[in-house]
Structure 1
Amino acid sequence: MPSDLDELEVLTLFVTDVPAAKAFYQEVFGLPVVYEDDASAALRLRNLLLNLLTAKEAPGLVEPAQVAAEGAGVRALLTVRVPDVDAVCAQLAERGVKLLNGPVDRPWGRRTAAFADPSGHVWEVAQDLPR
């Protein structure tokens, strides 16, 4: 990749319910809202904007590709590195988040756990295991 294209700036998730998705990311990740309108909410995740866009507005961004239907299956896994997966999972449980799997030690040297947001986007928390 050319060096002038090396920074991920915005991650846009197509959601069915912007207020519910916004509340999830505020509660679970503690993210501040930096912009919102009737169709979207943008939250700050360090140097990244997490843009929650209602799926009805998504076709204009991805045409001629099609927006996948809700419930069509998982199409991405978003991983956040953390120092202690078990501690993060305890915090998620306190916030009412149900894990899809984990925590589990993976053969590639990481401990992981996964959970989904209200629109089905799957997040993974992961830590490196000592070698």
Structure 2
Amino acid sequence: MVNGLPSEVEVITLFVDEIASSKAFYARVFASETIWEDAVSSVLRFGGLLINLLDVSQAPTLVEPLPVGPSSAGARVLLTIRVVDVDQVCAALREIGVDLLNGPINRPWGRRTASFADPSGHVWEIAQAIDQT
């Protein structure tokens, strides 16, 4: 570890294509507290982690000289949330109109998982530990 660099992640910023639809999606899917919001962003609390939904138009100055990749380029990140019962959560997601990308499926590394994407293509995985005996 680099001296002075803590090991705890504070904020993950997701560049979103359309802030209004992203805010609506996250409000519908996650029961997270909104701690900051303006016309181009919404910061949500996920336990000790903050997720910043940021309109992609605001992203270039944060990552330059790298370019901001388009959401059409495909998945580049997988954010995993531990749950007690993947099948139950999948049923609840389907009830509110969220389409699953895959799963539920038992993985060889001892997890039962399923994945879904937000309106900008950020992939979320729900996972539960399973008995490997």
TM range (shorter): over 0.9
Q: 1:4 offset after TM fit, Å?
A: 5.1
1:104-131 per-residue CA deviation (whole Å, 9 max, x = no partner) reads 0011111000000011100000111113
RMSD: 1.2
State whether structure 2 residue 62 is matched by structure 1 residue 53: no
Structure 2 counterpart SS, 1:88? helix
Unaligned 5+ runs, structure 2 = none
TM-score normalized with structure 2 length: 0.93
Corresponding residue for residue 79 of structure 2: 78
Partners of 2:17 and 2:58 in 1: CA distance: 10
Give the AA of the match of 2:43: A
State whether structure 2 residue 20 is matched by structure 1 residue 19: yes
Query: Comparing 28-37 with 53-62, which one deviates more in the overlay?
Result: 28-37
Partners of 2:18 and 2:123 in 1: CA distance: 16
Q: 1:26 offset after TM fit, Å?
A: 1.3
Q: 1:19 offset after TM fit, Å?
A: 1.4
Q: 1:70 offset after TM fit, Å?
A: 2.1
Partners of 1:39 and 1:107 in 2: CA distance: 40
Q: In the alignment, is the contact (CA less than 8 A) between 1:26 and 1:32 conserved in 2?
A: no
Unaligned 5+ runs, structure 1 = none
Structure 2 counterpart SS, 1:30? coil
Partners of 1:24 and 1:100 in 2: CA distance: 16
Structure 2 counterpart SS, 1:5? coil
Q: 1:68 offset after TM fit, Å?
A: 0.4
Partners of 1:117 and 1:11 in 2: CA distance: 15
Structure 1 counterpart SS, 2:97? coil
Give the AA of the match of 1:40: S
Query: How many residues matched?
Result: 131
Corresponding residue for residue 98 of structure 1: 99
TM-score normalized with structure 1 length: 0.95
Corresponding residue for residue 109 of structure 1: 110
Runs of 4 or more above 3 Å deviation: none
